[in-house]
């Protein structure tokens, strides 16, 4: 797989039906290794190993309803009270992050109400803090570290 703009993490791989699969620590199963899954797994390791988020607060690829349509988010990090702290949208490395990508995560966040957003294709990462009062987001230099006071 392509080198991404993350530290070099150690992953478990296996061959499954003539395809390479990568072990997902959160879902506790092997997933077929697509370019987007490679980015998603690097994001999960980034959260766990670099930012020290507890595994119990991270959720990967779950369905949600938006305007009657079923959509799937990539990664969510919860607060201890069950509210959503971070919503993360992952794209394959060859997908350019555009306004459309931000529109997609903003639509999801109308329902989820995450405090922070992250958009990444593994090469470029964008971090935002939501300002719900003024209906906009502010770009951040870095992703927030885990803090137990959440």
Q: What is the pLDDT of residues 27-42, one digit of tens each?
A: 999 999 999 999 999 9
User: What pTM was computed for the model?
Assistant: 0.90
β-strand partners of 94: none
Q: Which of 8, 38, 7, 5 is nearest to 23 (CA)?
A: 38
**Cβ 103 vs Cβ 89: under 8 Å:** no
Q: Which helix (H) or strand (E) holds 99?
A: helix 99-112
41-79 pLDDT, tens digit per residue, is 999 999 999 999 999 999 998 887 777 888 888 999 999
71, with CB counted inside 10 A (0-12, 13-18, 19+), is middle
Least confident of 29-43, 113-127, 133-147: 133-147
């Amino acid at each position: 797989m392509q080198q991404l703009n993350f530290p070099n993490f150690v992953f478990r791989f296996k061959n499954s039906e003539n395809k390479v699969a990568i072990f997902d620590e959160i879902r506790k199963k092997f997933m077929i290794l697509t370019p987007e899954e490679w980015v998603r797994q690097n994001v999960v390791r980034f959260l766990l190993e670099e930012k020290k988020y507890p595994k119990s607060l991270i959720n990967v690829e779950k369905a949600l309803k938006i305007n009657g349509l079923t959509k799937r988010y990539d990664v969510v990090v919860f607060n201890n009270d069950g509210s959503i702290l971070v919503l993360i949208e992952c794209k394959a490395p060859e997908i350019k992050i555009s306004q459309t990508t931000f529109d997609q995560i903003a639509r999801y966040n109308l329902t989820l109400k995450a405090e922070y957003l992250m958009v990444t294709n593994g090469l470029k990462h964008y971090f935002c803090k939501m300002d719900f009062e003024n209906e906009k987001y502010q770009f951040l230099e870095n992703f927030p570290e885990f803090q137990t006071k959440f």
